[in-house]
Amino acid sequence: MANDLQSSKAQTAIAKTAVAFDRPLNLACGFELTTHELVYETYGKLNSSHTNAILICHALSGDHHAAGVDSEGKSGWWDHYIGPGKPIDTNRFFVVCPNNIGSCFGSTGPNSINPATGKHWGADFPALEVSDWVESQVFLMEHLEIDCWAAVVGGSLGGMQAMHWSVVHPEKLQHAVVIAASLRLSAQNIAFNEIARRAIQSDVNFRDGQYLEHQTSPKDGLALARMIGHLTYLSDHALGRKFGRLVRNGDLDAAQKELVEFEISSYLNYQGDKFAKGFDANSYILITKMLDYFDLVKNYKNDPLATFSNAKCQFLVVSFSSDWRFSPKCSEEITDALIGADKNVSYLRIESDQGHDAFLLPDARYENGVSLYLNRVADQIEAEQP
Amino acid sequence: MINNNGFIGDWIIENSRVLDLGCGDGSLLETLTNKHQVRGYGLEIDPDSISQCIGRGVNVIEQDLNEGLENFADASFDTVVMMQTLQALRYPHLVLDEMLRIGKQCIVTFPNFGHWRTRADLVISGRMPVTKRLSYQWYDTPNIHFFTYKDFEALCLERNINIVNRNFVGGRASDLGLDNIWPNLFAHTAVYRLSK
């Protein structure tokens, strides 16, 4: 059914693998994806009863490289939190992080060849929803012969996947760690995503999304989209602390100020350009729409309590005080629903000035909270091991 | 303090839902979960206490009681407990009202400022008492309201709060039964079970 395409150990701690599934994945939009491939990394060892596996769900721009240093010398996007002795301890857990479909780091997405046409999917790649990522992750879980995750863990869009798992596959996870997430996007969130998409679509090189066929690249549009997005992931306070009104080039005292470049301008341009080199514009459009479509409670008469009533796992919910994309209020709505639905839940509201990005960054309290929570999970698993 | 909550336990129904306001290290909820199989949640804001709760597997919610409890539905808990926290709240009377809205019954404990030792401190030295149980200096104390059990009962009367049970704890005075004969003098801690 599924066969490994390659298996290599780039670094001691990383096992990078790809798997191709030749059975169809029925997408929420009605389209049947006849085959698909997932690239994923694993860290740590699966125990003999296959009970110590943790699924890491990446967010909008994430990939399978969550931890360790890869063959190109690049650190994983959550390296601070995953590794030996770290909060998600690879000495105790078998950690799995796939790149999800629709993204652009090796798993099936707009850059892949559409078997029906022999050309790149491009903008024709079917619309995706969070449920599609989760169902694809179920394929991976079966491939790895894991019946139940010890925990499904994710921040932002990753947290939405973790919640979706808890509601739709209650038997398949023991714990959900939901970080800086929300039950659904606000109008403001959707608006930021729409501005980002418009920026990409306005680039003359976008060519209605078929830029690969035209051998062009909407890099400026994608860079602009990312600059907007990146800015919303930071807090005013942290920006002021890091950049203030510092000038990188030119002189604010000069009569002619054309040459003045602020540090923040340089930083944002750099971040935008760097991102545009590594990410795909169609994936960005696809995944921001996926965020917009996400609404965990819609199918449960908009009742958050009813939504979680079938969940069986235990929850850790985490928010960050200066996150204004998915503010503590969003996490508190999740927490209140879980309490109302009589589920085990702990909630941490971490004081941080790092905005939404805080979920990726070092923070003593955040690390300690996740670590204490997952160590208990590991203690239980190890006590039950034959 | 209240010796592993002997009598609090008597007031807790098996398999019921318990909300502990200011749950500290989570030891009360842990005991109630082990002994009475309650489904409990603790509210706490002290980071170290929150860590201890997570470490022992107690559900802990980081939430400040002074910022309200509107997120909890009416009668959504069987019991709402608040141990030794009332005196540290900005508006104790409003929190009491909220507790009675959320819980079918409430259990409250607080230090009795009428205890002979605190009275003696104030009368003899002329200074605010600093005792073993109220060990803070006046300028640096989380305990911003000082009241006796009589004050508390006057508040209950005023707000139509029903006192279902009360108990007094008086350390060595308890051995002589003095805390229940003359509670305002010999009880250092008062324990109330309340309903609407």
> pLDDT per residue over A319-342, tens digit each?
999 999 999 999 999 999 999 999
Q: Known catalytic residue: A356?
A: yes
For the segment A30-50, the average pLDDT, to the nearest whole number, is: 97
Which CATH number does A190-290 carry? 1.10.1740.110
For the segment B52-66, the average pLDDT, to the nearest whole number, is: 96
CA distance A340 to chain B (A): 7
For the segment B180-187, the average pLDDT, to the nearest whole number, is: 71
CA distance B116 to chain A (A): 41
Which residue of B54, B56, B58, B65 is the best one to mutate when testing the A interface, meaning the one whose CB has the most A CBs within 10 A?
A: B54
Contact A342 B39 (CB under 8 A): yes
Contact A347 B63 (CB under 8 A): yes
pLDDT, tens only, B116-174:
777 777 778 877 777 777 778 888 888 888 888 899 999 999 999 999 999 888 766 66
In this prediction, residue A221 carries a pLDDT of 98
In this prediction, residue B3 carries a pLDDT of 46
pLDDT, tens only, A262-301:
999 999 999 999 999 999 999 999 999 999 999 999 999 9
* A254/A243: higher pLDDT: A243
In this prediction, residue A325 carries a pLDDT of 96
Beta bridge pairs of residue A246: none
Closest chain B CA to residue A375: B55
Question: Is A226 annotated as belonging to a binding site?
Answer: yes
Q: Which of A173-177, B30-34, B182-186 has the lowest mean pLDDT?
A: B182-186
For the segment B88-111, the average pLDDT, to the nearest whole number, is: 94
Q: Known catalytic residue: A166?
A: no
Closest chain A CA to residue B16: A342
Q: What is the mean pLDDT of chain A?
A: 95
pLDDT band of A314, cuts 50, 70, 90: very high
In this prediction, residue B132 carries a pLDDT of 75
Domains of chain B (ranges, CATH numbers): 3-195 (3.40.50.150)
In this prediction, residue B117 carries a pLDDT of 75
In this prediction, residue A12 carries a pLDDT of 43
- Check whether B91 has a pLDDT greater than 60: yes
Q: Known catalytic residue: A169?
A: no
Contact A339 B61 (CB under 8 A): yes
Chain A CB contacts of B30 under 8 Å are none
State the DSSP code for B148: -
pLDDT, tens only, A195-217:
999 999 999 999 999 999 999 99
Question: Is A197 annotated as belonging to a binding site?
Answer: no
Q: Architecture of A2-184+295-384 per CATH?
A: 3-Layer(aba) Sandwich (3.40)
pLDDT, tens only, B32-42:
999 999 999 99
B192: CB partners within 8 A, 6+ apart? B106, B107, B108, B109, B152, B156, B163, B165, B166, B167
Smallest CA-to-CA distance from A374 within A78, A147, A86, A148 is with A86
- DSSP symbols for B36-49: H--EEEEEE--HHH
Cβ–Cβ pairs < 8 A, chains A and B? 44
For the segment A355-369, the average pLDDT, to the nearest whole number, is: 97
Domain parsing of chain A, residue ranges: 2-184+295-384, 190-290
Closest chain A CA to residue B26: A346
Closest chain A CA to residue B74: A340
- Check whether A165 has a pLDDT greater than 80: yes
Q: What is the mean pLDDT of chain B?
A: 87
In this prediction, residue A9 carries a pLDDT of 32
In this prediction, residue B1 carries a pLDDT of 40
Contact A372 B55 (CB under 8 A): yes
In this prediction, residue A220 carries a pLDDT of 98
In this prediction, residue A4 carries a pLDDT of 43
pLDDT band of A159, cuts 50, 70, 90: very high
In this prediction, residue A3 carries a pLDDT of 42
Contact A342 B51 (CB under 8 A): no
Beta bridge pairs of residue B124: none
pLDDT band of A2, cuts 50, 70, 90: very low
Contact A347 B55 (CB under 8 A): no
Contact A368 B62 (CB under 8 A): no
A316, A365, A376: residue with CB nearest B47: A365
**H or E segment to which residue B16 belongs:** none
Q: Which of A323, A327, A331, A352 is catalytic?
A: A323
pTM above 0.95, yes or no: no
pLDDT, tens only, A70-117:
989 999 999 999 999 999 999 999 999 999 999 999 999 999 999 999
Structure token pair of residue A5? 């395409």
